[in-house]
Chains A and B, each alone.
Chain A
Amino acid sequence: MLSALLVMAGIALALGAALGFASVRFKVKGDPLVDKIDAILPQTQCGQCGFPGCKPYAQAIAKGEAEINQCPPGGEEGIRKLADLLGKEFKPLSAEHGVEKPKQVAFIDEAVCIGCTLCTQACPVDAIVGAAKQMHTIVAPLCTGCELCVPPCPVDCIAIVPVPETVETWKWTYPVVRLKVVESA
C-alpha cells in the first residue's frame, strides 16, 4: 500500500518537474496569434479601424474586442484570410470604417508647401522628408497611402493619388473564355 503511494507520488513529482521545466524552457514570448493576425493586416497604419495602427488592431482582434471587418485597406480578401485564421464567419466590410480603395500614395504640391512639419508628425511610417520652414516631400516607395497627413495640412497641398500600373507591376489577368453572342437564325 505504502510502496504504491510512494511510486505514484514519485511519478507525480517527476512529471511535475518535467512540466515545470518545459514551461520555463519553451516559454512563448508574446502572443503568436497577434503576430499571425498582424501578418495578414496590410500595415497601412491608417487607423481607420479605430485603433492606432495595425498591431493594436491585431491585439484587439486576438482578445475578441474588435470585429474582423474593420480594415478597409485589407479589403474583402483580408477579411476572408482573417476569417480563415480565426475560424470565424466572413462578414462584409463594415461601412462605418470606410470603403476599399485601390492602392494609393500621397503627393505634396511642393510649390504650395509652407514647411510646417505637421504632416511629418502625422505620418505613421516616417515617409515624409522635410524640416521646419523647408519644403516637404513624400518618399513614395515608403508611403502606405493612409491619408493621415491630409487633415493636418494647413494649406491643403497634399493630394492622395492612385498608384499607376507600370510594365513592371502589371499582372496577367485570370484566363477567362470570352463569350460571343451568336445571332440565332
Chain B
Amino acid sequence: MLATPFKFRGGVKPASHKDESTQAPIAPAPLPARLVVPLRQSAGAAPLPLAQAGQKVLKGERIGAPDGSFSAAVHAPTSGTVLAVEPRMLPHPSGLSAACVVIAPDGEERWIERTPVDYRAESADALRDRLRDAGIVGLGGATFPSHLKLKPGTAGRIGTLVINGAECEPWITCDDLLMRERAAGIAGGIAILRHIVGAERVLVGIEDNKPQAIAALRAAVAGIASAEVVAVPTRYPAGGEKQLIRVLTGIEIPYGRFGTEFGVQCFNVGTAYSVHRAIAQGEPLVSRIVTLTGNVERPGNWEVPIGTPIDDLLKLAVPKPDTDRFIMGGPMMGFALPRTDLPITKAANCILAASPALFPHAGPEMPCIRCGACTRACPAELQPHELYWFARAKNFGKAQEYNIFDCIECGCCAYVCPSNIRLVDYYRFAKTSMRALEREKAAADAARQRFEFRTLRSERDAKEKADRLAAKTAAARQAISGEKAAEGAAQTATPTPAAATPALPPLDETKKALIAAAIARAQAQKEGVQPKNIDNLTAEKQAEIREIEARRAQVREMAKTPPEEPV
C-alpha cells in the first residue's frame, strides 16, 4: 500500500456512522406516480425548456437544452407524459421555486435510441460535447458541469487526473457502495476521462475506512497503465476537492483558479461512472445513487430516478416516529429540507433523518473566547474566529482581506467550537451578501456608463442641430447680402468701396427673408397637390368629388378675402 506523502492541515474526526447503510446492496427505487425534474440542476445557466405539457417523452429524452457553455442538459428520467412545465419548490436552503418539468411515468421505461461510441475513436472535443448533452455534472455535490473541467487549462496539459472516492462526510455511503458494486464502470469512466485530458497518471483517493471499495477499485483499474488507488487517512474533509488534490499530489490550488491551470483535475467516482454510462452505453444522466440513513428503520442505498419526490423514498427507508427533520447531504455540510415533497436532484447524495436523540441540540450560542480551536481545525488554513468577527459585524471588506472566499464551508470550525457558534452560517451570510453587493456594484457601474453615454449623445445631437441651423442662417444672410450688392451695383454707376463689399444684413431681416421663403415653398407645395387614385371611379363618385373640390375652392376664396365686419 502506497503511503500518502502529503497531508492537509486541520480537519476533524467525527464518528463515521457508515456501517448503518452499507449492509444492503444498492437497490433500484420504484418509479413514483409523479416525477418533478428541476431544469436547473447544475452550476451555471439554467437549461432552456424543450418539453411542453401534454408531450410524450421517452426515457433519456432531452427536456432541457444547455444554455451556453456553462450549462448542462437535463433529460426525462423515464418514459411518460409531461403534465406541466411550471415553477415548483426546489430542494435548496432558500425554499424558492424554479421551473420544473412534471412527468407522469407510463411504467414502460422505454429508452430513446441509445448511441454508444468507442471513446478511442472520438476526438476530445466531440466527447466533451457528448458529456454536456448527456447532462454530466459533478456528483460530489457541487454539480459543476464536467465538460468544462475537461478543457485544457492555461498551463497546457492536465498531467494528473485525481478521482475522488474519499467520501469523508459521516453517514453518506453512496460512493462506497458504487465502488464496491460497479468498479468496472468507474474504471471505464476513468479511462474515458483520461483519454479526453490526456493525463499521464491517474490517482484514485479512497479513505482507508473503505477496504472493500479499495480492493474492488484496485482490481478494476489494474488494466489501466499508471493508474493507482491510494488509501488516504480517514479525516474529514479529506474528500474536499482541494484537500484530496493536496494529499495526493502536494499541489495547492488557490481560490478562483481551476485545477487545470496547475496540471491536475479532480472528478468524483460517481461522475466517472456516469461518464462511462454516457459514452460507452449512450445513456444520459437520469438516475443517481442516494443514501437514506439516520433515524430510519431500513437504512441503505437506492438507485433513484432524478425527480423522485423525497416522500416516496422515505417510504422505502421508513423514518422512525421521533424524526424531527430531514437533512439533504451529510450532517456537516447538508441543510435541513423545508419540506419533504421536494424532488431528488443530481446534487442529492444523501437524505438523513435527524432526531433529537441522534443529533442533540448543541445548546445556546455563547460568546467567542478566542480559544483558537477553529483555527487548528480549519482545513483551508484560515482564521475562522477573525472571519466570524468580521462577518458578524458585516465588515465585508475585512472578511475578504482574510480570504473568506477560500472557505469551503466544511463545518469543521463549528464542529469544534466550544461556544456552539454556528460559524458557517455567518460565513454563508457574508459570502452571499458580498456576492450580492458585487452584482449591485456591477449593475450600478453599467448604469452609470450608459447614462453618461446617453448624456454625451444628447449633447452631441443638440450641438450638431445648432450647428446645422447656424450654417443655414449664415448661408441665407450671404445670399441676401449678395442680392443687395447686385441691386446697389445696378443703381449707382460709380460704386463706393463700401458697396463693393456689402455688410451682412441684420439678423431679423434674414429671419424674415427665411420665413417668407418657407411660406412661398409651402404655398407652391399646396397648389402642386394633384388628386390621386381617381381612375376607374363611378360617375356618382366623380360627381361627389367635384362637389367637394368646389367646396374647397370656395373655402380658399373665403380665406383670401378678409372677413366682413359683423353688422
**At the interface with chain A, which of B60-68, B234-242, B287-295, B426-434?**
B426-434
Asked if residues A171 and B429 are in contact (CB atoms below 8 Å), the reply is: yes
Asked if residues A172 and B445 are in contact (CB atoms below 8 Å), the reply is: no
Q: Quick check: is B210 within 8 A (CB to CB) of the other chain?
A: no
Using known A-B contacts A174-B429, A175-B422, determine if residue A54 contacts B451 with beta carbons closer than 8 Å: yes
Q: Quick check: is A147 within 8 A (CB to CB) of the other chain?
A: no
The one of B365, B436, B447, B453 in contact with A169, judged by C-beta atoms closer than 8 angstroms, is B436
The one of B425, B431, B451, B455 in contact with A175, judged by C-beta atoms closer than 8 angstroms, is B425
Asked if residues A142 and B446 are in contact (CB atoms below 8 Å), the reply is: yes
Using Cβ atoms and an 8 Å threshold, which residues of chain A touch B425? 172, 175
Using Cβ atoms and an 8 Å threshold, which residues of chain A touch B422? 175
Q: Which residue of A lies closest to B451 (CB)?
A: A45
Which chain B residues in 65-111 approach chain A with CB under 8 Å?
90, 92-94, 96, 98
The one of B98, B364, B436, B454 in contact with A124, judged by C-beta atoms closer than 8 angstroms, is B454
Using Cβ atoms and an 8 Å threshold, which residues of chain A touch B450? 125-127, 142
Using Cβ atoms and an 8 Å threshold, which residues of chain A touch B464? none
Asked if residues A167 and B447 are in contact (CB atoms below 8 Å), the reply is: no
Asked if residues B454 and A126 are in contact (CB atoms below 8 Å), the reply is: yes
The one of B90, B96, B432, B444 in contact with A43, judged by C-beta atoms closer than 8 angstroms, is B444
Using known A-B contacts A54-B448, A142-B446, A172-B428, determine if residue A177 contacts B365 with beta carbons closer than 8 Å: yes
Number of A-B contacts (CB under 8 A): 71
Asked if residues A144 and B447 are in contact (CB atoms below 8 Å), the reply is: yes
CB distance from B35 to the nearest CB of A (A): 20
Asked if residues A166 and B98 are in contact (CB atoms below 8 Å), the reply is: yes
Q: Which residue of A lies closest to B423 (CB)?
A: A175
CB distance from A42 to the nearest CB of B (A): 6
Main secondary structure, interface of B, reads helix
Using known A-B contacts A45-B447, A175-B422, determine if residue A167 contacts B96 with beta carbons closer than 8 Å: yes
Asked if residues A167 and B90 are in contact (CB atoms below 8 Å), the reply is: yes
Asked if residues B447 and A142 are in contact (CB atoms below 8 Å), the reply is: yes
Q: How far is the CA of A172 from the CA of B433 in the complex (A)?
A: 8
Which chain A residues in 109-131 approach chain B with CB under 8 Å?
124-127
Chain A 10-30 per-residue mask, 1 if CB under 8 angstroms from chain B, else 0: 000000000000000000000
Q: Quick check: is B439 within 8 A (CB to CB) of the other chain?
A: yes
Q: How far is the CA of A161 from the CA of B322 in the complex (A)?
A: 45
CB distance from A39 to the nearest CB of B (A): 8
The one of B93, B443, B446 in contact with A172, judged by C-beta atoms closer than 8 angstroms, is B93
Using Cβ atoms and an 8 Å threshold, which residues of chain B touch A166? 96, 98
Asked if residues B94 and A167 are in contact (CB atoms below 8 Å), the reply is: yes
Using known A-B contacts A171-B436, A172-B429, A172-B432, determine if residue A42 contacts B451 with beta carbons closer than 8 Å: no
Q: Which residue of B lies closest to A143 (CB)?
A: B447
Q: Quick check: is B132 within 8 A (CB to CB) of the other chain?
A: no
Q: How far is the CA of A41 from the CA of B445 in the complex (A)?
A: 10
Q: Quick check: is A44 within 8 A (CB to CB) of the other chain?
A: yes
Asked if residues B96 and A170 are in contact (CB atoms below 8 Å), the reply is: yes
Chain A residue total in the interface (Cβ 8 A)? 27
Q: Quick check: is B452 within 8 A (CB to CB) of the other chain?
A: yes
Q: How far is the CA of A71 from the CA of B542 in the complex (A)?
A: 67
Which chain A residues in 80-102 approach chain B with CB under 8 Å?
none
Q: How far is the CA of A167 from the CA of B431 in the complex (A)?
A: 15
Using Cβ atoms and an 8 Å threshold, which residues of chain B touch A144? 443, 447
Q: Quick check: is B40 within 8 A (CB to CB) of the other chain?
A: yes
Using Cβ atoms and an 8 Å threshold, which residues of chain A touch B454? 124-126
Using Cβ atoms and an 8 Å threshold, which residues of chain B touch A54? 448, 451
Using known A-B contacts A45-B451, A142-B450, determine if residue A167 contacts B92 with beta carbons closer than 8 Å: yes
Q: How far is the CA of A175 from the CA of B365 in the complex (A)?
A: 11
Asked if residues B444 and A42 are in contact (CB atoms below 8 Å), the reply is: yes
Chain A 156-185 per-residue mask, 1 if CB under 8 angstroms from chain B, else 0: 000000000111011111110100000000
Q: Which residue of B lies closest to A45 (CB)?
A: B451
Asked if residues A43 and B447 are in contact (CB atoms below 8 Å), the reply is: yes
Using known A-B contacts A43-B445, A175-B422, determine if residue A170 contacts B365 with beta carbons closer than 8 Å: no
CB distance from B355 to the nearest CB of A (A): 19
Asked if residues B429 and A38 are in contact (CB atoms below 8 Å), the reply is: no
Q: How far is the CA of A173 from the CA of B429 in the complex (A)?
A: 6
Asked if residues B451 and A53 are in contact (CB atoms below 8 Å), the reply is: yes
Using known A-B contacts A142-B446, A142-B450, A167-B92, determine if residue A53 contacts B40 with beta carbons closer than 8 Å: no
Using known A-B contacts A43-B444, A166-B98, determine if residue A171 contacts B433 with beta carbons closer than 8 Å: yes
CB distance from B356 to the nearest CB of A (A): 14
Q: Which residue of A lies closest to B364 (CB)?
A: A177
Using Cβ atoms and an 8 Å threshold, which residues of chain A touch B40? 167
CB distance from B206 to the nearest CB of A (A): 33
Using Cβ atoms and an 8 Å threshold, which residues of chain A touch B436? 169, 171
Using Cβ atoms and an 8 Å threshold, which residues of chain B touch A41? 444
Using Cβ atoms and an 8 Å threshold, which residues of chain A touch B431? 172
Chain B residues within CB distance 8 Å of chain A: 40, 90, 92-94, 96, 98, 364-365, 422, 425-426, 428-429, 431-433, 436, 439-440, 443-448, 450-455
Known: A54-B448, A124-B451, A126-B454. 12 other contacts (CB 8 A): A44-B447, A45-B451, A55-B451, A125-B454, A144-B443, A167-B94, A170-B432, A171-B432, A172-B429, A172-B431, A172-B433, A177-B365
Chain A residues within CB distance 8 Å of chain B: 38, 41-45, 53-55, 124-127, 141-142, 144, 165-167, 169-175, 177
